[in-house]
């Protein structure tokens, strides 16, 4: 007997739902995108119980006539593409025509919709993929979709939903993304009857960012406006280097106003900050990349949060250079040539920097002039930087530059001096000596010292971090926390997503000596801070913690969260680099460091002490 069967529609839809509908936030994403595609000027999202019990999205978009309202739930029913050629240049957020069908197959869905001037609207009810009811209903122009009891018929998936707090966090994050991408649309987000976001239509991104994040966030932002036709224009905001975060959570990235998660863009963004932000520290960013529609394939993943660029290197260049230029305009990096990234040049093989005409004028042909063909171009490498980004006759300039670079580079390079990495080693607990003698400071940042085995460099900031971390942890566990009242309380504006995390983080912070008070709305007052923490650092620290401590971790392991708080406190209270230390202070620091639980690594896992061994010194001087 033949064994292959065609699946019933509702089974196929449930399978598709597995890809599109992962959690309440993914339902909200599809519905909000549909509203945007329908030309809405006002979108309201209401949720209950983290979106599991209720998720309702209303818009004032073009609405649907009765036949369309019914058809909308069919698989592959879409008004957005007609022929496969349309797939090459997709200008709408949706196009696969499977979102509504998928959602309706795993929830109880009600759709009420009406078009402009229609005599009556339509109400369609559909449960677990089965059409229950279609009738006339009153509705102003636009569409309301109510999704109840998500996964009511798929217990296996229901089990994978996280706590209400976590799902709410994801939903808030999502709404924040769309609100940023569409300042011209009014957004409201209501959680269990409480307003979380209420933003009227804004003039531009800056105004929208102000509505959502408040003034303090905006103060630290630098405007990005770079790249250009024909490849990728990059606009938006990035944070100043002093504003540091330990996760990428505050990076809002968009491609053609579609919110994406893209490692390549994240990486290029970080590359823009090279040498001014250490590893493991991330800037905040609202970055909008505009590319011609045919340059990007959004049909990579059903949820469409991944994209594939036809020329990823050109996009990466545009992002990196635009960010770099923004930093240069604010004097964070020199305006002129900045050092080329130390990306291991192959010795003895002269490298030619790819100098792609980016951005090239719209009229220029792809970069295939005789000159460029003659100069063999290696795979994309960090480019020589121009700031501000080149414009106008840059082709000529690029060729000039290329020739210049080539002539410099074709001189056989001097072999590199033995890399310091080989000689200077991290001190580990096993070879740590108790007999460390400080000699002085290097760059007012590193303590130069000796022990019986050689010469030591101690990073004063991370060393102090380790000392303070142990101290805070000890005080907390002995419940002997000391705090200092602030004369004038500091205030802090929470973003909607942070507000959700804050309520659960606050009690843990108070354990360490913070006194926090939630004022009206999303403003928090800091009334007291732990001893040793400079008052001015309290805000930075709070912002950083609200990002690192994500909803899930926080709920599961209180200890992990307390460690994170202690690490953050230690980091903000510790002496900084570029600070001169007296010999007594150096002695004190080293003594305290040696008494800690782990003198050779900081709470974030970085090394504290490096050693140049005596043997290597002797070898270096050809004495052995």
Q: Which residues lie near Mg ion (CB under 5 A)? A: 34, 94, 99
Structure tokens at 524: 């928090």
Distances (CA, A) of 467 to 75, 135, 149, 481, 608: 60, 70, 51, 16, 11
Question: How many CA atoms are closer than 13 Å to the CA of 144, on its beta-carbon side?
Answer: 16
Query: CB of residue 45 vs ligand ADP: minimum separation in angstroms?
Result: 12
Q: Is 27 in the site for ligand ADP (CB under 6 A)?
A: no
What are phi and psi for residue 439, nearest 5 degrees?
-115, -35
Complex with ligand ADP: residue 59 or 149, whichever CB lies closer: 59
Token duo for residue 533: 């923490």
Angle of CA points 426, 427, 430, to nearest 5°: 135
What is the DSSP pairing of strand 285-290 with strand 251-255?
A: parallel
Q: Is 141 in the site for ligand ADP (CB under 6 A)?
A: no
- Of 46-54, 72-80, 443-451, 487-495, which part binds ligand ADP (CB under 6 A)? 72-80
Q: Which does 97 bind (CB under 5 to 8 A by kind): Mg ion, ligand ADP, none?
A: ligand ADP
Among 13, 26, 78, 268, binds ligand ADP (CB under 6 A): 78
The option from Mg ion, ligand ADP, none interacting with 24 (CB < 5 to 8 A, set by class) reads: none
Residue 64 binding: pick among ligand ADP, Mg ion, none (C-beta 5-8 Å cut-off by kind): ligand ADP
Complex with ligand ADP: residue 126 or 221, whichever CB lies closer: 126
Please give the Cα distance from 446 to 450 (Å, whole number).
13
∠ CA 286-290-295, nearest 5°, is 135
By beta-carbon proximity to ligand ADP, the closer residue of 111 and 222 is 111
Residue of closest CB approach to ligand ADP? 94
Question: Tell me, what DSSP letter sits at residue 622?
Answer: T
Residue nearest to Mg ion (CB): 94
DSSP 607: B
> Of the two residues 95 and 309, which places its CB atom closer to Mg ion in the complex?
95
Q: Does the footprint of ligand ADP cover residue 77 (CB under 6 A)?
A: yes
Spatial CA neighbour of 268 closest among 223, 228, 238 = 238
Give the separation between CA 109 and CA 125, rounded to whole angstroms.
Answer: 6
Contacting ligand ADP within 170-199 (CB under 6 A): none
- Give me the half-sphere count of Cα atoms (radius 13 Å) on the Cβ side of residue 615: 5
Number of residues this chain uses to bind ligand ADP (CB under 6 A): 23
Is residue 30 part of the contact set for ligand ADP (CB under 6 A)? yes
- Structural Rg of the chain based on CA atoms: 29
Cβ-based nearer residue to Mg ion, 34 or 498:
34
CA 289 to chain CA centroid, nearest Å? 15
Q: Which of residues 89-108 bind ligand ADP (CB under 6 A)?
A: 94-101
Examine residue 64 and tell whether it contacts ligand ADP (CB under 6 A). Answer: yes
* In contact, 109 and 27? CB cutoff 8 Å: no
The answer to the question of residue 34 lying near ligand ADP (CB under 6 A) is yes
Query: Which positions from 364 to 403 touch ligand ADP by CB under 6 A, shown as an x/- string?
Result: ----------------------------------------
Q: Which stretch binds ligand ADP (CB under 6 A): 55-63, 192-200, 271-279, 374-382?
A: 55-63
Residue 547 is classified by DSSP as H
Nearer to ligand ADP, 95 or 259 (CB): 95
Query: Between 98 and 459, whose beta carbon lies closer to ligand ADP?
Result: 98
Contact segment (CB under 6 A) with ligand ADP among 59-67, 148-156, 417-425, 554-562 equals 59-67
Q: Which two tokens stand for residue 326?
A: 């923004």
Least Å from the CB of residue 79 to Mg ion: 10
Nearer to ligand ADP, 39 or 347 (CB): 39
Q: Which of 46, 59, 164, 459 binds ligand ADP (CB under 6 A)?
A: 59
Give me the phi and psi of 381, to 5 degrees please.
-125, 165
Tell which one of 26, 35, 172, 246 touches ligand ADP (CB under 6 A). 35
C-alpha span between 150 and 15 (Å, rounded): 15
Helices (H), 123-193: 155-159, 164-181
Burial of 327 (0-12, 13-18, 19+ CB in 10 A): buried
Least separation in angstroms between CB 24 and ligand ADP: 16
Helix 538-548 and helix 558-573: axis angle, to 10°? 150
Q: Report how far apart the first and last C-alpha atoms of the chain are (Å, whole number).
A: 83
For ligand ADP, the closer of residues 77 and 352 by Cβ is 77
20 binds ligand ADP (CB under 6 A): no
Binding site for ligand ADP (CB under 6 A): 30, 34-35, 38, 59, 61-64, 72, 77-80, 94-101, 143
């Amino acid at each position: 007997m033949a064994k292959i069967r065609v699946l019933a529609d509702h089974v196929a839809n449930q399978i598709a739902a597995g890809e599109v509908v992962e959690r309440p936030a993914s339902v909200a994403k599809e519905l909000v995108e549909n509203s945007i595609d329908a030309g809405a000027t006002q979108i309201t999202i209401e949720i209950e119980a983290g979106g599991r019990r209720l998720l309702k999205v209303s818009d004032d978009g073009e609405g649907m006539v009765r036949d369309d309202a019914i058809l909308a739930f069919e698989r592959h029913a879409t008004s957005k593409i007609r022929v496969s050629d349309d797939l090459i240049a997709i200008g709408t957020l949706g196009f696969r025509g499977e979102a509504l069908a998928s959602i309706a197959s795993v929830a109880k869905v009600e759709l009420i919709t009406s078009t402009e001037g229609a005599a009556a609207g339509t109400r369609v009810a559909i449960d677990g993929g089965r059409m229950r009811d279609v009738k006339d209903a009153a509705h102003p122009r636009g569409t309301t979709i109510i999704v109840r009891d998500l996964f009511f018929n798929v217990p296996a998936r229901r089990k994978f939903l996280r706590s209400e707090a976590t799902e709410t966090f994801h939903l808030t994050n999502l709404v924040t993304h769309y609100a940023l991408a569409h300042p011209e649309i009014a957004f409201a987000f209501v959680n269990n009857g409480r307003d979380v976001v209420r933003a009227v239509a804004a003039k531009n991104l800056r105004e929208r960012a102000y509505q959502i994040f408040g003034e303090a966030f905006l103060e630290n932002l630098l405007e990005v406006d770079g790249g250009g036709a024909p490849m990728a224009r990059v606009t938006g905001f990035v944070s100043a280097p002093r504003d540091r975060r330990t996760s990428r959570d505050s990076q809002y990235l968009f491609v053609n106003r579609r919110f994406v998660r893209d490692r390549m863009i994240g990486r290029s963004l970080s590359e823009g900050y090279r040498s001014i932000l250490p590893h493991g520290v991330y800037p905040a960013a609202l970055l909008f990349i505009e590319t011609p529609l045919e340059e990007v394939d959004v049909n990579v993943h059903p949820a469409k949060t991944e994209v594939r660029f036809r020329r990823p290197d050109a996009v990466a260049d545009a992002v990196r250079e635009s960010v770099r230029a923004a930093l240069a305009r604010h004097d964070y990096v020199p305006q002129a040539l900045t050092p080329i990234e130390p990306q291991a040049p192959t010795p003895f093989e002269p490298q030619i920097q790819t100098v792609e005409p980016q951005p090239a004028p719209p009229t220029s042909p792809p970069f295939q002039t005789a000159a460029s063909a003659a100069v063999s171009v290696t795979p994309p490498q960090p480019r020589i930087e121009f700031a501000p980004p080149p414009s106008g006759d840059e082709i000529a300039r690029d060729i000039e530059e290329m020739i210049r670079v080539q002539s410099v580079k074709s001189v056989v390079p001097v072999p590199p001096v033995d890399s310091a990495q080989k000689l200077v080693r991290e001190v580990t607990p096993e070879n740590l000596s108790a007999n460390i003698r400080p000699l002085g400071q290097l760059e007012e940042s590193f303590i130069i010292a000796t022990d019986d085995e050689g010469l030591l460099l101690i990073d004063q900031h991370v060393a102090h971090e380790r000392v303070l971390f142990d101290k805070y942890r000890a005080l907390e566990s002995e419940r002997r926390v000391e705090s200092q009242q602030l004369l004038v309380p500091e205030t802090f504006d929470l973003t909607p997503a942070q507000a959700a995390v804050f309520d659960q983080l606050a009690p843990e912070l108070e354990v360490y000596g913070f006194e926090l008070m939630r004022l009206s709305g999303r403003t928090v007052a800091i009334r007291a801070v732990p001893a040793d923490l400079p008052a001015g650092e309290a805000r930075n620290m709070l912002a950083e913690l609200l990002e690192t401590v994500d909803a899930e971790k926080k709920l599961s392991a209180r200890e992990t969260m307390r460690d994170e708080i202690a690490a953050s406190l230690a980091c903000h209270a510790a002496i900084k680099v570029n600070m001169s230390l007296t010999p007594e202070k150096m002695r004190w620091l080293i003594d305290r460091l040696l008494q800690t639980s782990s003198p050779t690594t900081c709470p974030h896992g970085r090394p504290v002490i490096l050693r140049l061994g005596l043997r290597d010194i002797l070898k270096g001087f050809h004495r052995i």
